Amino acid sequence: MKTSQKILMGAVIGVLILLIFQFKNCESETGTIPEITNVLPTQEPIYITPEAVTETKWKGSIVYTKNPVNKELAENYKAARDSLEKYKLYLNAIQIRQFKNTFEDENVAITLEGSVQGNIREFIPSYTIKQRTLTQKTTVFRMLIGGEVRASYPLDLVNFGGNIGFQNKKGNILRFGYSRINGMDYATVGYDVSVFRIRR
Q: How confident is the model at residue 23 (pLDDT cuts 50, 70, 90)?
A: very low
Q: Is the pTM here over 0.75, yes or no?
A: no
Q: Round the average pLDDT of the chain to a whole number and report it.
A: 77
Tell the burial category of 169 from Cβ atoms under 10 Å away from its Cβ (0-12, 13-18, 19+). middle
Is pLDDT of 26 > 50?
no
**Tens-place pLDDT, residues 130-154:** 777 777 777 777 888 887 777 777 7
Domain boundaries, the chain: 3-30+138-192, 37-130
Tell the burial category of 62 from Cβ atoms under 10 Å away from its Cβ (0-12, 13-18, 19+). exposed
Which pLDDT belongs to residue 79?
82
Is pLDDT of 53 > 80?
yes
| DSSP designation for 199 | -
**Which residues have C-beta within 8 Å of that of residue 20, sequence separation ≥ 6?**
141
**In the beta sheet, which residues pair with residue 163?**
146, 177
**Tens-place pLDDT, residues 68-127:** 888 887 888 888 867 888 888 888 888 888 888 888 888 788 888 888 888 777 878 888
Is pLDDT of 200 > 80?
no
* Length of the chain, in residues: 200
